[in-house]
Structure 1
């Protein structure tokens, strides 16, 4: 099936349960692709791209062909549309230079890299590129503590696992089963299993430098596990780590967000997911994700997202 409609979010086919190829042309095509990030090219009028999107239960496969371009996902993009997803990218043709958390890595044809969608990044492709991407909800990967942060540390080492993953991705491209069938369920589980093994091997191979970095990762892990606890704060985290609260605050003095803002953003991200997935009123959701009161939830949501919760829900459903 071929259509000129833009993708919605990151895995558009997942909304309709069908295998779809999208076509993009000119400035209109660039605008359509710039849904959750901004895509730029030196010659917008000549822009031509295609996106094959395949749903597989809770995950998605995308194969995109693009001319030379630059993609930016900023903090503002994340606040507008939060995506608790991991993208595992197999470069089929061309070169991708991606910068995440200040670290730049270069992936060439045949190589694989991964990153989390709720981390700002810049991807630059100096030549035409074709990439196959597996998009997996973070919860399915069950990463070890610090796993999300370790994703930005480089191209995955070539091994039998990377070869198997690339072969499976090629198989999906050639002959994917219909969504919501036993075959689709089996293939989805197999891909998640191999992705989990790939990222687990990458994480174990990563060397963490310095006690401060290890401490920051422990704090990230505490926030990820316990953001729904209304008592969670820099003070409580400091007690958990048996360090002064000033030490916890100092660890993030040079980071984009303080500990309190990290907790607030994680709760708002959880609230965004609940607003889309459920019909529960925001007052109930706010308490469930850790806000101490309805008013605190409303204030935090507007600060992080820029719109009230009900307006966000309406836009997402439209």
Structure 2
């Protein structure tokens, strides 16, 4: 994680725009599902990191949560997250974090297993790559185990597939931190690109497991344009104009990594659709959703779209003290 003078990872206003774009791009119907189950990292974590005790102290206070809840809720945002807007659009309550505990009634409408800082890959992958620290232990595989542990509480084995067939499953966003940790370790972009197939494979395996458990509708988001994130724009400032997208001001070579990840993910999802023709697998294009805002910021009410929303000094309103390596768009 990082402790920043610009705490919120995303603004509520921006996320409202993202969810509208998400619904438009995917054609997802609302009111068709009885529950939601969500996996991922801080983009979707509604409080698991807080209940685990591993959340940074700064995230426990305002301005986190200030635009909606009026207090910090463990979300890495000044308000609601994408998963919150999806739940509201479907007429369901916001998802309860799995680590908050509870009974069948508490998880009647689903559960959130996402954990801030989580990776798609397990710690041994990074240890084998010579990383000087171990990334967050609550990676995607652990979140799937939590899900399996919760299922018997929600239903009997005989009707678990009935429940899951009427549930919306959000697999991510996940994978962004796998690259964030690598950049923090000063790995080269060439080496980081070699991690992408392993990340995609981990996501694919998770989708396979969920489908075999009974999931019928899954949303798998792609990676954000990381070259547009204030942290990366600050750390990789350049005097070379050619390194920037002239339309958005984002760092082109960083966004190319996101594009590579998303292209491989799309190919893998297409293969999974062939294997599971009776399952709906939706790709959520978070990359283009963000770029649409950055290309026409005034249209969406933004004056300085690349600047952190609550930051301090610097060109991108961002100043950060690294403890580990979590960059959030």
Common topology (TM > 0.5) = no
Structure (1 or 2) with the larger CA radius of gyration: 1
User: Structure 1 length as normaliser, TM-score?
Assistant: 0.28
Structure ranking higher on relative contact order (CA contacts 8 Å, 6+ apart): 2
Higher strand share: 1
